[in-house]
Each structure stands twice: as structure tokens, then as C-alpha cells.
Amino acid sequence: MSIISSKHTAWFKSALFIAGIYHILWGISVLFFPCFWFDLCSLSHPNYIHLWQLIGGYEIIFGIGFLMIAPNPLRHWRLLLLSFIAKLAIVVGFTYFYHLGEEPFIVFNMILTNHLLWLIPFGIILYNAYHHQYLLDNDMIQLNKLELNELLDFFELNDGNNLKEESEKHPIMLVFLRRFGCLFCRETLEHLKKLQPEIEAKGTKIVLVHMHHKEEALEELKKFNLESISSVSDPESILYKGFHLKRGTFFQLFGIKVLFRGIYLWLTKGTFSSIDNEADLFQMPGVFLVFRGKIIKQYVHRSAADIPPYLALCACDECTCVNPI
């Protein structure tokens, strides 16, 4: 079996970045200069200009959405699909009303630049996203047939060692992170930095699992003085799926507990969440103690704001003949 990593074509990102900037600028022009495009096309002004301005706001929101998904369009394709359907509906609607003689052809200029032209790159990206998901689904079918030992054998630590081989030497605490921009992920890193000596003294090695590329992860870990800690890069969330960690529900990600703990961390730490370039914004975290191909203990988060009992998880009565860290 080969775990397939999709090749994110550079122009996908460029096209969505350009789309984001274009739609934001166009929306701003409609919001603040609502009559400009009508004057340019020699059309009479609409009776309800405020509704036209609302369309400008709608375009700005979509533009921001394009910028958010541009770093990883194959993962966040659902927003793109929504925009594709909306633009296709507008093109079909214009064609219908033009056929009835109710729309002047001059309006086609706006339809062309705002909707019709974007259907081509968006359609290509969506096709590739479908193909990408198909390959991942096939990988998951094969992945589900694997034993834990076989799954661990596919992943290497940042120091080049194999996860399976490492788990044969001593227990490893696999800490699955959400994303480095998440408040609770940063809190996790602070906890692990503080507890690392005590955890390793018990003979357990901490291994972080993240969805970022190695270079990006290293820069983030340096902020917490954890650049020397072992980690695994899993941009496609294959290992997450292998350990049955799912994407969070609305309440798991934005519930009351998450909201209040997020505000608390913002007030006490002076930091706030940010959007990451690569990570799945909805992925849930988890912690697993693994030794010699078996999961000894586990903690699966009920909400993104949960704090696992790291010291209790690393206590392992079954882990005999453990090599020192």
C-alpha cells in the first residue's frame, strides 16, 4: 500500500488568491460607489440601491472565503462548490432573462468578469478535489485493513526514525494537535513543555502529530522551545483517520465550553486564534499511549477545549523493559 499525498498545484492557490482580491475590490466598489458600474454600462440606476450594495457585501464575504481556502483548496472545497453553484445559477439566470429580452447585452460584461470566467478555474479545482478525495477514500479502505503496527510503519519522525521502531523501544505518547493557530493547541504545547521532563522520566517519549509541513512546524515549535521534540508531519490527516480521530461538530468546536475557555485564554495569555495555511480547521485532537504495536491508553477530546491528563496517560504498568529516553 502507498499512502497518496496530493500535489497541490501552485496555480490553484494563485487563482483563488486572485479571485479573493478581485471579489473584495469589486464588492468594495459596489458598497461605496453603488452607481459606478451602472454609469459605466450606461444603465439606469436601480430603484433599491441598498439591495445592490448588499450584493457588494456578499461579494466581499466570498472574496474573504477564497483567500481563506487558497492555501489548501483541495481540503476546503465545499466553499468553492457553493460559489461555483451560485455563479452558475447567475449565468443561467442571465441567459434566460436575456433570451426573454428583459436584460440588455451590456450586462454580459459584468456577468463575464464576475461569474462566467471564474467557472473555468473553479471547475478544474473542484474536479481535482473530487479526484483527490477519491484517492484518499481508496487509501482509507486499505488503511482500515492495516494493523496498528503496519500503520505506524508508514510514518517517520522528524529525526528520521520510524514510528513503529520507536514504539518498540519505549512507550510513545502520540499527541495529535489540531493546528498551530488554535488557542488550545498553543496551550497544549505550553503544557507539554512544562511536563516534558516528568513524562520522559517515566520512560515515555512525546511525539507530536500535526498537519503541517516539517519546516512550518519547526518554526512554530521554536516559539515554545520545543524544536527538539519528536514530531510527525501528516498533512493529509492519514494518521488521524487511522486512530479514528474525526472532524469536530459545531458544539465540539464552537460550544459554550470552547467559547468561555477561548475568552479566558485570550484574556490571560493575550493571544487569539488564527487561520493556518494547511491544517484542517475542523480536525479534532487526541492523545494515545502506544507501546509495541498496542494502544495502552487513550484520551479522545469531547471538545476542542479539553485538557488531557498527560501524566496519568503516560503511567504504564504494562510497559516493561523500557529503554531510557
* Domain spans in the chain, listed from the N-terminal domain onward: 10-141, 148-314
- What local confidence, expressed as pLDDT, does residue 1 receive? 40
Q: Given the C-alpha cell 434566460, which residue does it identify? A: 96
Distance CA 249, CA 304 (A): 10
Distance CA 279, CA 177 (A): 10
Whether the Cβ atoms of residue 174 and residue 151 lie closer than 8 Å to each other = no
Residues of the chain falling short of pLDDT 50: 1-8, 141, 145
- What local confidence, expressed as pLDDT, does residue 198 receive? 93
Phi first, then psi: what are they for 270, rounded to 5°? 70, 25
Relative to beta strand 205-210, strand 294-300 is: unpaired
Residues 6+ apart with CB under 8 A from 59: 23, 24, 26, 27, 30, 114
C-alpha cell at 23: 471579489
Contacts of residues 54-61 at CB distance under 8 Å and 24 or more positions apart, as own/partner, are 55/30, 56/26, 56/27, 56/28, 56/29, 56/30, 56/31, 57/27, 57/31, 58/27, 59/23, 59/24, 59/26, 59/27, 59/30, 59/114, 60/23, 60/24, 60/27, 60/28, 60/31, 61/27
CATH 3.40.50.300 fits 148-314, yes or no: no
Phi first, then psi: what are they for 232, rounded to 5°? -125, 130
Distance CA 287, CA 309 (A): 9
Each residue of 58-97: pLDDT tens digit? 899 999 999 988 877 877 777 888 889 989 988 888 888 8
- What local confidence, expressed as pLDDT, does residue 4 receive? 35
